[in-house]
Amino acid sequence: MAKKEKWVVRDKNKRNVFWPSVEMRERAWVGTDRFYKDAAKNPMDFWACLARDGLDWFKEWKKVYESKPPYFKWFLGGKLNASYNCLDRHLKDKGNKVAIIWESEPLEERERKITYRGLYREVCKFSNVLKKLGVKKGDRVGIYLPMIPEVMVSMLACARIGAVHSIVFSAFSGINFRKRVEDCGAKVLVTCDGYWRRGKQINLKKQADVAAKAKTVKKVVVVKRFTGKDELKLPMRKGRDYWYHELMAKASEDSKPVPVESNTPLFLLYTSGTTGKPKGVIHDTAGYLTQAYWTTLWDFDLHEDDVFWCTADVGWITGHTYNCYGPLSVGATMVIYEGSPDMPNWGRLWKIADKFDVSVFYTAPTAIRMFKKMGCELTKGYDLSTLRILGTVGEPIDLETWLWYFGCIGNGRCPVIDTWWQTETGGTLVNALPGIGPFIATVAGRPFPGTRAEILDEKGKPVKKGRTGYLVFKPPFPPGLLRGVWKNPKKYRDTYWREYGPKVYYTSDGAKWFDKHNIRVTGRVDDVMKVAGHRLSSAEIEDAITSHPEVIVSAVVPKPDEIRGQVPVAFVVLRPGVKPSPEVEASIVKQVRKEIGPTAKPHQVFFVKGLPKTRSGKIMRRFLKSMLVNEKLGDASTLQNPEIVGYLKKVVGYKRK
Ligand code: WT7
């Protein structure tokens, strides 16, 4: 591949708008608008064609699409297996191709390179381990692992036998893991002794033990990450806890992939909504995999010699789709990194990108803002000329950050693909494609071919260009879209299909048309915040705070933050007689860490005597949110306690802009 190739050109007339260069357009899988047009004419044929071309099937489907609002199905009656599509079918041509390049945090430890054949063997063995431990088709397996290859092995082993995995972010607390394990009724857990984070050994097994107490849990498999002088002495409970390597040593490599019907759940992923309880988003097999495959291939324009690096943790949907199912189903080589980007300094990621000739790099705005703070010199001494495409995801990206990413990391040569999507959508849905463009700073781009996005006003009418409204999707729904909420059909209906009725998927995001085709997403319109790209709910943090014995009630709202995008700020009413103090504050913060995890800890705590409430007793978080940014406050006359507003203004130091 020619180095220093320029993959973009600047728009002659418009600022901060870029187009693919001739080289990019010629190289790209999608290089003409015809894809969008044809797909729009008949989206079902379009997706059927993609499902057939992209995936290997054991049995062809009988019907492409069926809808019983608010439920829908794709590729009905078809049979396939996700692990077969990620592994077996590549063995003939790419058995020796590297699937995963794993880099550990400590510099002195060597990277691990796992080929498709190597990964296939591990997955087959682990699927037999799971079977021996009693896991059957449809059973749930709770996975609580950091960024080590065994997490992909575990996911694919579940998929191989038709079991449903539910991964919980390893930086979430054991209590949080337990809640999710209890909700989905996991039989087996997969975890590890620990991992490296910022030079510290994190003992994960200790947290996992909290969840292992859940009634449904029968067995716990523990991967050994630390050996030699780093070895952790762990209590292993007899008859319940088993070492991964010991079970694997005895496991057979002979494992037939179980064919499952297209709409069979592949995994659950818990995500935060507007209530205190996270919901288990259900993803199916065929629709999800079709979207994972094609979005990976087209958004990042992956070709045989590419090295793809998505920095997301596997605990989030981005990690599921773009660190496992997407790149593996297309047969790509990907990089995964265990540790923190500042270890031993902020040059670490560029060192890795240089070492492995990364060509596609996908990260979150919060990380880019951090790099930007460190300055453009950050990449000095590292050769990033293999980079061809840059991606971003997770929250709106501001103009300066976009330009910095484009200029300093991409050296003005690579498009920035700003992908909008959600845990619920399974794969990207709104973004520019590398061979089509345009790449417009702060604008996500076009709805993926074959999907129908609209921006509606309160009444359900399409908004005019430039007006903000609510981003929705119309049928046929993207194949990767969630198929339900685990054991909670009401929540599924109420969250996604109530705002505009059961035939319109409501995203909870604000958006506007930048021009005829391109969408700018403005962010969440519900009580969900994005803290360093992590999705957290106000209610969930409030529940954690209120579980503190000295707290009566609390309200948590986001406040803008230069690096993290948003940070949670808590308003807390203490029990009578309890005096506000730094100690009380510290113990409240500790409570949140314990119940949820460090990402959710309040950035600031205001001790107050009351909170703004509606006549029905609902706390008006909107008021508090506006107060923190000195915005105009809404009408206080609808409040039960309007007098509280003046008092709160003083507490936060409100000054109307
Ligand atoms: C929410 C979903 C999807 C992977 C990671 C996040 C926000 C996501 C963008 C973007 C503006 C974005 C939305 C969305 N979001 N990507 N490119 N531009 N906002 O998944 O944790 O389920 O969060 O993230 O608000 O609703 P998630």
Residue 416 lies in a domain: yes
3-state secondary structure of 85: helix
Say yes or no: 169 and 48 in one domain. no
Long-range contacts of 459-465 (CB under 8 A, 24+ apart): 460/500, 460/504, 463/512, 463/513, 465/512, 465/513, 465/515, 465/516
User: What's the CA gap between 584 and 60, in Å, rounded?
Assistant: 62
H/E segment holding residue 334: strand 333-337
Q: Closest ligand 1 atom, CA of 421?
A: 3
Mutate to test the pocket of ligand 1, among 405, 422, 520 (most ligand atoms within 8 A of CB): 422
Tell me, yes or no, whether 8 and 153 share the same domain.
no
269 occurs within a structural domain: no
Supply φ then ψ for residue 302, to 5 degrees.
Answer: -75, 135
The DSSP bridge partners found for residue 270 are 280
Tell whether 497 and 562 lie within a shared domain: no
538: which residues sit within 8 A by CB, 6+ positions away? 274, 527, 528, 529, 555, 556, 557, 558, 568, 621
Give me ligand 1 centre to Cα 114, in Å. 31
| CA 521 – ligand 1 centroid, Å | 9
The one-letter amino acid at 56 = D
Residues 107 and 132 both lie in one domain:
yes
Choosing from 317, 366, 471, 535 the residue with most ligand 1 atoms within 8 A of its CB, the one to mutate for a pocket test is 535
Name the residue at shortest CA distance from atom 14 of ligand 1: 422
pLDDT at 90: 98
Which protein residue has the closest C-alpha to ligand 1 atom 8?
A: 394
* Residue 599, domain member (yes or no): yes
Q: Are 362 and 335 in contact (CB under 8 A)?
A: no
Residues 310 and 326: their CA atoms lie apart, in Å, by 11
Are residues 224 and 252 located together in one domain of the fold?
yes
Are the beta carbons of 326 and 461 closer than 8 angstroms?
A: no
- Best of 530, 537, 564, 566 for a ligand 1 pocket test (most atoms within 8 Å of beta carbon): 530
Number of domain units in the chain: 3
**Residue 113 in contact with residue 101, Cβ under 8 Å?**
yes
- Share of the chain residues as helix, strand and coil, in percent rounded to the nearest 5: 35, 25, 40
> What does the alpha-carbon distance between residue 313 and residue 269 come to, in Å, rounded to a whole number?
13
* Contact (Cβ atoms closer than 8 angstroms) between residue 312 and residue 318: yes
The C-alpha atoms of residue 96 and residue 638 are separated, in whole angstroms, by 67
Q: What is the DSSP string of 90-122?
A: GHHHHTTSEEEEEE-SSTTSPPEEEEHHHHHHH
* Ligand 1, atom nearest to 312 Cα: 5
Helices 582-595 and 174-184, axial angle in degrees (round to 10): 40
Write out the residue range of the structural domain in which residue 8 sits: 1-57+73-79+288-310+322-524
| Cβ density class 143-152: b for 16+ within 10 Å, e for less | bbbbbbbbbb
- The answer to whether the CB of 149 falls within 8 A of the CB of 328 is no
Compute CA distances 647 → 409, 653, 654, whole Å. Answer: 47, 10, 10
From 271, 314, 393, 398, the mutation candidate for ligand 1 (largest count of ligand atoms within 8 A of CB) is 393
C-alpha of residue 322 to centroid of ligand 1, in Å: 14
Q: Please identify, by atom number, the ligand 1 atom nearest to the C-alpha of residue 534.
A: 21
Q: Length of the chain, please? A: 657
Instruction: Give the residue carrying structure tokens 């406040």.
Output: 559
Task: Using the atom order of ligand 1, give the atom closest to the CA of residue 428.
Answer: 3
Print burial letters for 272-289: b (CB count within 10 Å at least 16), e (below 16).
bbbbebbbbbbbbbbbbb
Residues with Cβ within 8 Å of 13's Cβ and at least 6 positions away in sequence, in order, are none
- The alpha carbons of the chain give a radius of gyration, in whole angstroms, of 24
Same domain? For 519 and 389 the reply is yes
CA-closest residue to ligand 1 atom 17: 420
Q: Supply 26's token pair.
A: 């010629």
Q: Are residues 538 and 470 in the same domain?
A: no
Same domain, 190 and 334: no
Distance from residue 420's CA to the centre of ligand 1 (Å)? 6
CA of 397 from ligand 1 middle (Å) equals 11
In this structure, the answer to whether residues 254 and 390 fall within a common structural domain is no
Beta-carbon-side half-sphere exposure of residue 478 (alpha carbons within 13 Å): 31
Residue 560 placed within a domain: yes
End residue of a domain, out of 524, 553, 577? 524
CATH number at residue 599: 3.30.300.30
Both tokens of 607, joined, read 């001790």
| Lookup: tokens for 251 | 């496991």
CA of 481 to the centre of ligand 1 (A): 14
Asked if 150 and 213 sit in the same domain, the reply is yes
DSSP-assigned beta bridge partners for residue 197: 200
CA of 305 to the centre of ligand 1 (A): 29
| In-domain check, residue 607 | yes
Q: Compute the distance from residue 172 Cα to the ligand 1 centre, in Å.
A: 19
**Residue in this structure with the two tokens 């949080």, named with its chain if needed:** 176
Q: Helix, strand or coil for residue 568?
A: strand
> Does one domain contain both 516 and 616?
no
- Nearest-atom index, ligand 1, CA of 423: 22
Q: Which residues line ligand 1 (CB under 6 A)?
A: 271, 316-318, 393-396, 418-423, 444, 507, 509, 521, 523-524, 530, 535
The 3-state DSSP class for residue 590 equals helix
**How far, in Å, are 68, 475, 482, 529, 536 from residue 274 at the CA level?**
26, 25, 17, 10, 9
Residue 152 in tokens: 């992909």
Residue 249, number of CB atoms within 10 A of its CB: 9
Residue 62: inside a domain, yes or no?
no
What per-residue confidence (pLDDT) applies to 466? 86
For 356-479, where are the alpha helices, taking DSSP H only?
365-374, 399-404
Residue finishing a domain among 524, 559, 590: 524
Interval 547-589: pLDDT, tens: 999 999 999 999 999 999 999 999 999 999 999 999 999 999 9
Asked whether residue 437 falls in the same domain as residue 485, the answer is: yes
Instruction: At 394, list the tokens.
Output: 């997770």
Choose one of 268, 310, 316, 509 to mutate for the ligand 1 pocket test, by most ligand atoms within 8 angstroms of C-beta: 509
Q: 637-651: per-residue pLDDT in tens?
A: 889 999 999 999 999
- What distance in angstroms lies between residue 534's CA and the mean position of ligand 1's atoms? 9
Three-state DSSP class for residue 18? strand
- The sign of the CA dihedral 398, 525, 445, 330 is positive
Pocket test of ligand 1: the residue of 272, 281, 420, 485 to mutate, having most ligand atoms within 8 Å of its CB, is: 420
Q: What is the CATH number of the domain that holds 200?
A: 3.40.50.980
pLDDT at 209: 98
Three-state secondary structure call for residue 556:
strand
CA of 431 to the centre of ligand 1 (A): 12
Which atom of ligand 1 has the smallest separation from the CA of 524?
25
Q: Could you check whether the bond before residue 612 is cis, i.e. omega within 30 degrees of 0?
A: no
Concatenating the DSSP letter of every residue in 232-268 gives ------TTTEEEHHHHHHH--S--PPPPEETTSEEEE
Q: Kindly give the distance from the C-alpha atom of residue 537 to the centroid of ligand 1, in angstroms, as a whole number.
A: 14
Does residue 266 lie in a domain region?
Answer: no
**Residue numbers of the chain with a pLDDT score lower than 50:** 1-2
CATH number at residue 31: 3.40.50.12780
Question: How far away, in angstroms, is 535 Cα from ligand 1 center?
Answer: 8
Tell me the CA distances in angstroms from 541 to 71, 308, 399, 450, 547, one per residue in order: 31, 35, 30, 38, 10
Q: Please check whether residue 419 lies inside any domain of the structure.
A: yes
